[in-house]
Amino acid sequence: MNVTQPVPGLQHRTVLLDEAVDALALEGERAAGTYIDGTFGRGGHSRLILSKLAPEGRLIGFDKDPQAIATAEQMNDPRFSIVHDSFATMREALAARGVHQVDGILLDLGISSPQVDDASRGFSFRNDGPLDMRMDTTRGISAAAWLAEVPERQLEKVIRDYGEERFAFQIAKAIVAGRAVEPISSTRQLAAIVANAVKTREKGKDPATRTFQAVRIFINQELEDLEAGLNAAFELLKPGARLSVISFHSLEDRMVKQFLASKAKVEQPDRRLPIRAVDLPKPLMKLISKTKPSDVEVGANPRARSAVLRVAERLAVDAPEGAR
């Protein structure tokens, strides 16, 4: 199958669709601005943003997945363009297009339903398929290739740190023993090895869940991309512009929360020092909201259960008089 084309029948329900787009405050003059959808996916957020943009507005999408790019290229809107790359590169990609500031950025982290449901992508243990897990199938190393050569100690660390898996030692040991017998090339093989290594299961959760999450995050450098993307987003936002980020697991949400908090808070100097109020450090961002899906949305789409939307606004910070 040609994975560069969307797979018919695989649908994606965009989580927190209205809430994430509404948070960008696309009203009045802001509707004529430039916006970034850093995780195009199947275009749910992008289409809603475009429906609110003025004719002179502009939306630039990013995605690593060739299937997402194929979907984006079918959109017939002169205000929209797509970049086949991670949102971590948005600063350089926009500079190449003559854009240095934007009016809002939306990031919908994690993986889309079509990626999970398409067995050929190797993201899920529920259907057997090749153990790939790459979001961008045109570059990088597959999960199967990585598992064939990764040292046991590094594998344990990845499973523990990225999967928050307390049985990381046992699972890594079992994977290394399993690959000595035969190559681990399918999702079902990996899931079976993990199931045999994990004797205590969390209620309602497959024992392979955390390991699959860990390997996927590592293969796609998701946390590294998120760190770079958050820093790039902050530098690109105009004063008054909003950053809207949807996370799906605790590692992502913790990073987003800590990043926004670091920009919203400032260290206050010793009160005994003779510093004028105008020269005191000021926050760089304002925290706007934290939102979780409603019970209705979770009922209609159980995959939305763990989602958290955090929104912050870039503040205008005047330079001290002596620095002007």
The helix/strand/coil state of 250 is helix
Q: Is 12 annotated as a binding residue?
A: no
Q: Please state the φ and ψ torsions of residue 82, each to the nearest 5 degrees.
A: -125, 145
Question: How far are the Cα atoms of 51, 143, 209, 316 from residue 282, in angstroms, in the given order?
Answer: 36, 45, 42, 10
Length of the chain counted residue by residue: 324
The CA distance from 218 to 42, in Å, is 23
How many whole angstroms from its chain centre is CA 71?
Answer: 19
The answer to whether the CB of 234 falls within 8 A of the CB of 88 is: no
The CA distance from 82 to 161, in Å, is 33
Q: Which residues contact 218 (CB under 8 A, 6 or more apart)?
A: 146, 158, 162
| DSSP labels, 30-45 | GGGSEEEES--TTSHH
Q: Is 108 annotated as a binding residue?
A: yes
Q: Is 115 annotated as a binding residue?
A: yes
Q: Is 44 annotated as a binding residue?
A: yes
Q: Is 87 annotated as a binding residue?
A: yes
Closest alpha carbon to 50 in 71, 74, 72, 80: 80
Q: Is 85 annotated as a binding residue?
A: no
Annotated binding site for S-adenosyl-L-methionine: 43-45, 63, 87, 108, 115
Annotated binding site: 43-45, 63, 87, 108, 115
